[in-house]
Structure 1
Amino acid sequence: MSTRPSRPARRAFKRTPPNPKPEYEFLGPPGAVAMLIALPLITYGLYYNCRKEFGCPPAFWDSKDGFWPSIGANPMVYPVDLWDFFLSTWDVAAFQVYTAFLIFLFVCYFVVPGYVVDGAVVGGVGGSPLTRDRSNYTLKYKINAFRTLMLIAVIAIATLVTKGVEPFLFLHSHFVGLITASLIWTCGVSIFVYIWSFLPDSDGQEKILAKGGNTGNMIYDFVLGRELNPRFSASPNSTFDIKYFVELRPGLIGWILLNIGFACQQYSMLGRITNSMAAVLFFETFYVVDALWNEASILTTMDITTDGFGFMLANGLLTWLPMNYSLQARYLAAYPVDMSIFHCFVVFGVQCIGYYIFRGANGQKDTFRRYGASAPQNKGLKYMGTASGSKLLISGWWGTARHINYLGDWLMALAWSLPCGLATPIPYFYPIYFAILLIHRELRDEEKCHKKYGKDWDKYCEIVRWRIIPYIY
């Protein structure tokens, strides 16, 4: 006998009252509007205020070569000026290259061999319990990002050997066009997933929505992301998850390719690569390789399990990450720095300490979640049980601070800016911004954990007092 519900039953479910609207984050709709405007402007601003021909920051400020090259003095025509400015950054070749890059990654997702893993339990709202429990379920993900990176590395090395640095100089000379291309794709993907979230899924039921992105306010939901895991079946045996695909591949791999382009620009100007550029290339490439090698660990992060996929994440991963995180390499291409031995030791020391904390903490958490307290590698670790059935580590790395991995992550970010020296604060944009991001993320995670664990979380906080930095914060 078929267990498929009758049509009246399915229609009856759709008439049930909507879920309670969640509280706004990021200052609500005004904050969402601010992100739509400010995030692209900051990316353009970092470019126009750090260029070899005008200084970093510019030594002067006028309507022609300042922050906004095409904006005049009349506020009444700012929208027109902004549109004219955007058109001035349009670059057909850059758009074609960026689009080809995304298409190549998309094809690699399906053709490069990988293995499938179960993600963490995620909690969405909406949908129908007729097919599965929508508030307690797991999804499957294909792991092959590292192999994709290795394929791209082979292609890049072969290009350098056979063609020299010339092909990679395109990335430097067309950089502002690549920013615009990435923003066009950001907007296109954001609009698509927003509309997609209103369409029924493959079993005819409502989509699984993110708890924070289904407020009913169009702009807010568009920015924060309405659907939790936008995905579609590419074939009978293959599912393509849009958020998961964008999370690691275009931004991280694009970041490294841009760095290579800026290193090639420095080489074409100097005939060599400075030790500061080599340090930035090595450390940031190592970070990306490590992230893609441990691709499955991303499945337990808030981006995947909690946040919807909208403009905020799309911009962060398609535009903000590659275009802004490559700032140090772009700066060094214009303003080469030769580090002293002492300078090298400081940079290398900060990087090693940061990575030791970051990977040690994350590795300890992952092995504990995967193998439990009885596993040999977790011998001696102490934990406390909770009413929800979860176990919270109270020793090892996680006994020193509740988010000790954030400290390691930030120290590595600082190490990537230190090779640029202290002549200007602009190359330090990333660690400054990253500190704000991590503190905000920590506050969000604390709120989420308090709701999940209740009094058990209060007890845990009494045992592990420090949030990120032991004895300081």
Structure 2
Amino acid sequence: MSPRPSPPAKRAFKRTPPNPKPEYEFLGPPGAVGMFIALPLITYGLYFNCREGFGCPPAFWDSKDGFWPSISANPTAYPVDLFNFFLSTWDMAAFQVYSAFILFLFVCYFVVPGPVVEGAVVGGVGGSPLTKDRSKYTLKYKVNSLRTLMLIAAIIIATLVTKGVKPFLFLHTHFIGLITASLVWTFSVAIFVYIWSFLPDSNGQEKILAIGGNTGNMIYDFVLGRELNPRFSASPDSTFDIKYFIELRPGLIGWILLNFGFACQQYSELGRITNSMAAVLLFETFYVVDSFWNEAAVLTTMDITTDGFGFMLANGLLTWLPMNYSLQARYLAAYPVDMSILHCFIVLGVQCIGYHIFRSANGQKDTFRRYGAEAPQNKGLKYMETASGSKLLISGWWGTARHINYFGDWLMALAWSLPCGLATPIPYFYPIYFAVLLIHRELRDEEKCRKKYGKDWDKYCEIVRWRIIPYIY
């Protein structure tokens, strides 16, 4: 009787050592600690500084009460003990609803049909050889977020017809609990992917880490993220990517659902929806639908191709986006505004101009990348060739500014706040924050391009002088 053959020996698992000279971003470890603490507190602060029954600061500075007068006018409304504060905001019903929402989206990802597309070439360090090159590879993704949103819309319509707006008032009355629930999920996901990044994949090999995600500083790596594409399988045919799943679905869909809940609250109080609330719902819903319609475009963004997935992205997508971007609708639910005809035209004009710049600029860049300069739709566009073989547009939208799409994106953000009027700066938090975010993103992209193109980038910058806003910045 022949002896049983020995199983093939597995490759020894060796972990990639930390980068010897890490290049920190976001001010390094101190900045990571700051984000870890400040981001949740800002989200809570926006709630406590603008809520029904407690007022909303009429100005940044008041001659009597000083900075943000609503705080000094009622200091007992702002807890100091963070642990007791967290306990006071805990809401089991809100946690169950938020968790059911995430689980529903997870199931929809697999159940709702959608095409599978190949993403852009991404690169990291270490990891399984998903392609011939260990550090450059492509992954597959399932595109079905728009169909998921359509399913949710059908459920909402059926609920409205059978039960009215009452079930959706939960989102307004339990909002503070939903913030806490989202943060529990944020920390849980961030801790999971951090630990997961140290474990070998199904082939017994180390995970592919983001470049700059392996500094050896635990706090920094936890916040910025270690693994580039956290997945449950190393197979290139698998489609469920944790970062990609969270990138679009919970934040953007949650944002629209919260907006709708606040609109229902206004309707229950006033018996109608103001034109300002209708404008906010229309513009922001259109933005989300447009993002889902062009879902595959997210696969070329820095979030997917470059950044690791850690606390920063988890918080931004699970908590920051839905809870803070819905601020305008929440404000209008408590402080209704009826816009004049002139006010309506201003808001509509800013929105349309912003969308035209944003979508046409991105469309021009996308068709140039797909079809090249010889395609009929790209006729007349000028470009310069770089030593790396890439072609950079120097005419059309991209001849006016190097990141002209950011300007259009920001104008739309401003249009979402303008319906709230000028009684308080609080609803303008998003365009203010977004301006800072876009400038920082532009600086990061500039640094990346300068490393990639070298002297060719300097030449390009001489031709296209402006960064975001022509003749201004």
Structures share fold, TM-score greater than 0.5: yes
How far is the alpha carbon of 1:61 from its aligned partner? 3.2
Query: Any idea what the Cα deviations from partners look like across 1:254-307, whole Å, max 9, x if unmatched?
Result: 000000000000000000000000000000000000001100000111000000
Q: How does 1:448-463 map to 2 (within 5 A)?
A: 448-463=448-463
AA matched with 2:71: W
Matched, 1:70 2:79: yes
Q: How does 1:149-298 map to 2 (within 5 A)?
A: 149-233=149-233, 238-298=238-298
Q: What's 1:427 paired with?
A: 427
CA distance in 2, matches of 1:189, 1:338: 41
CA distance in 1, matches of 2:114, 2:214: 34
Q: Identity rate of aligned residues, in percent?
A: 86
Q: What's 1:305 paired with?
A: 305
Query: Any idea what the Cα deviations from partners look like across 1:223-242, whole Å, max 9, x if unmatched?
Result: 00000000114999643100
How far is the alpha carbon of 1:384 from its aligned partner? 1.2
SS in 2 for 1:406: helix
Q: How does 1:105-184 map to 2 (within 5 A)?
A: 105-129=105-129, 132-184=132-184
* Change over 3 Å in CA distance of 1:130–1:336 after alignment to 2: closer
How far is the alpha carbon of 1:408 from its aligned partner? 0.2
SS in 2 for 1:401: coil
SS in 1 for 2:232: strand
| Equivalent of 2:71 in 58, 61, 79 | 61
CA distance in 2, matches of 1:322, 1:271: 26
* Change over 3 Å in CA distance of 1:121–1:66 after alignment to 2: farther
Whether the aligned pair in 2 keeps the contact of 1:259 and 1:330 (CA below 8 Å) is yes
CA distance in 2, matches of 1:198, 1:130: 18
Q: What's 1:78 paired with?
A: none
Whether the aligned pair in 2 keeps the contact of 1:45 and 1:68 (CA below 8 Å) is no
CA distance in 2, matches of 1:264, 1:130: 48
AA matched with 2:78: P
Whether the aligned pair in 2 keeps the contact of 1:49 and 1:66 (CA below 8 Å) is no
Q: What's 1:3 paired with?
A: none
444-453 vs 19-28, which moves further: 19-28
Query: Any idea what the Cα deviations from partners look like across 1:58-92, whole Å, max 9, x if unmatched?
Result: 754369x5486322xxxxxxxxx100000000000
* Change over 3 Å in CA distance of 1:126–1:233 after alignment to 2: closer
How far is the alpha carbon of 1:375 from its aligned partner? 1.7
TM-score (norm 1): 0.93
TM-score (norm 2): 0.93
Paired residues, number: 456
Gaps of 5+ in 1: 1-5, 72-80
384-393 vs 258-267, which moves further: 384-393
CA distance in 1, matches of 2:382, 2:204: 46
CA distance in 1, matches of 2:131, 2:400: 43
SS in 2 for 1:61: helix
Whether the aligned pair in 1 keeps the contact of 2:228 and 2:309 (CA below 8 Å) is yes
| RMSD between superposed Cα atoms in Å | 2.0
Gaps of 5+ in 2: 1-7, 58-67
SS in 1 for 2:384: strand
* Change over 3 Å in CA distance of 1:207–1:16 after alignment to 2: closer
* Change over 3 Å in CA distance of 1:196–1:269 after alignment to 2: same
191-200 vs 123-132, which moves further: 123-132
* Change over 3 Å in CA distance of 1:154–1:426 after alignment to 2: same
Matched, 1:377 2:354: no
Q: What's 1:76 paired with?
A: none
